[in-house]
Amino acid sequence: MYYKPLCDISGSVAFPGDVTIKIPGYKIERLIAEGGMATVYLATQESLGRYVALKLLRKFDNANQSKRFLIESQIIAALNHRNIITIYDIGVTDDKQPYISMEYLEGGDLEARIERGMDPKDALHVVEEIGDCLSLVHREGIIHRDIKPANILFHKNGTPILSDFGIAKQEDKDTRLTMDGSALGSPYYLSPEQAECETVDGRADIYGLGIVLYEMLTGKKPYKGNSHIETIVAHLSDALPILPPELSQYQDLVNKMIAKSPDDRFSNAGVMVHYIRLLQETETDSSSRILDNKVSKSLSNTGIIQQAQQLLKTNTKVLWASAGILALLLIITGTLIWMQQPATVDSTENAADSESTIYDAAVTEEPEPLSRETPVISSHDSLRIEAILLKADLALEESRLILPKNDNAYYYYKQILEVYPNHGAAIIGMEKIANAYADLAENEINRFNYLKATRYIRKGLRIQPDNDRLLDLEENTNVLKDAPKRAFDKIKKIFK
């Protein structure tokens, strides 16, 4: 864990004059930081010879404060994610001070990076990683409640790590916040529902992360008053902040994260991450200008692409002639892609596509034939089906279409249809999965990746063989006809 070192007025690191704390198995090296609730030391874990951060409760003002401190370690230790700080040990000192031993991170915190200035792509990456982490945290029924730059740390390799779950709450144990100053996050990142002491869920963390995103992009906090109260009121009443024109492509994302009402935000962190990945793909596509990088790579040995690009630069009078050349090249490219496609796609393929923005793999089995008779749903079955539908809908929102195994939308809807073949909500769910594959296929066609598009189409048809969109795409996805048309469309947009 990383904390900014304490310094005296000369700027030197402040070391404790007499460290009397004794914890078996640990050697205290120096004081790292002090806060209102805890003190953090750098220590060596003697059995393994590694640095750790030891966090000790500073004082026992009340029993709840001590309890929250220990709950932090239990919450974090129960989670397993590469973007959540790792807990090594918990215990109590000889003088009854509880402590947590956790990983020591030397990569600094997000506050320092914001002060130096951040590239928008790096900011988006941090939000994607922390958002993916929050998706797991929220599924476990835990809300962090204090998302801010100081609580986002970094490994040496740049991996962002979410820390300080000290005021996190478990939804089934703590349904409302208090305003006693100890269970409330930083006012600069506080969601409106937190400020008004309303019931909160994971969307409060999305709000805090949205404020962090705005700060990473602009270097400024969007809501800042002369006092904490003024800042909190600004969250409740001020208009949504507007990004500078050069960052306008991120405005919709910011708006969707920091909307005043939780209902106007992303429904969960998984949906937010999916949106960010699509936004990143869009940026990648626009930066590739005329040709998709994969298409360029496929012809890199012939040198034809470089010749066409040179023609486009020579003289504006030959732009349309160059466009014709480029279209011809795309026909050749499409032909090469078509020639590389196998006659059929192996229906047993089961490997996840590493470039997809969703959990993606081939469906390895066809739904078993179901009875045409729909059994009468008992009250017990009704409750069970409702629970399965909730899991299925969440998986669909988070784009867990057919992976991971036994925790995906297809798996849950299929469970219902095996017993109740005519169940309306489950049938609609299967159609949504098929349409998700149609969306993915159309996206790949727009990128001239016909092989991948064909795979998505066939995967979708395994789930819903009569899906009109997929059948139409299967019939009309023709690289020789489609590639030149799309090439001309792209050229027209560029030269307009």
Per domain, the residue ranges of the chain are 26-103, 110-283, 341-465
pLDDT for the residue numbered 474: 85
Phi-psi region of 181 (alpha: psi -120 to 50; beta: other; left: phi over 0): left
pLDDT tens-digit readout, 301-354: 434 444 444 444 444 444 444 555 555 555 555 554 444 444 433 333 333 343
What residues are paired with 98 via a beta bridge? Answer: 92
d(Cα 416, Cα 387) in Å, to the nearest integer?
11
pLDDT for the residue numbered 366: 42
**N- to C-terminal Cα separation, the chain:** 52
Catalytic residue among 146, 292, 360, 482: 146
Q: Is 472 a catalytic residue?
A: no
pLDDT for the residue numbered 312: 43
Residue type for 95, please?
D
- Within a 13 Å sphere around the CA of 433, how many CA atoms are in the beta-carbon half? 35
Residue type for 384, please?
R
d(Cα 341, Cα 285) in Å, to the nearest integer?
23
Q: Which fold has domain 26-103?
A: Phosphorylase Kinase; domain 1 (3.30.200)
Which residues of the chain carry a pLDDT beneath 50?
1-18, 171-183, 288-321, 336-374, 379
- What is the Cα 378 distance to its own chain's centre? 39
CATH level 2 (architecture), domain 110-283: Orthogonal Bundle (1.10)
Helices 424-446 and 379-397 sit at what angle, rounded to 10 degrees?
A: 10
H or E, element range at 247: none
For 169, list phi and psi in degrees, rounded to 5.
-125, 150
Which residues fall within 8 angstroms of residue 433, CB to CB, at 6 or more apart? 396, 401, 402, 409, 410, 413, 460, 463, 464
- Asked if the domains 26-103 and 110-283 are classified in one and the same CATH topology, the answer is no
pLDDT for the residue numbered 4: 44
Cβ-contact 461, 346 below 8 angstroms: no
Q: Give the 3-state secondary structure of residue 28.
A: strand
Report pTM.
0.55
Nearest residue to 359 via CA among 201, 135, 159 = 135
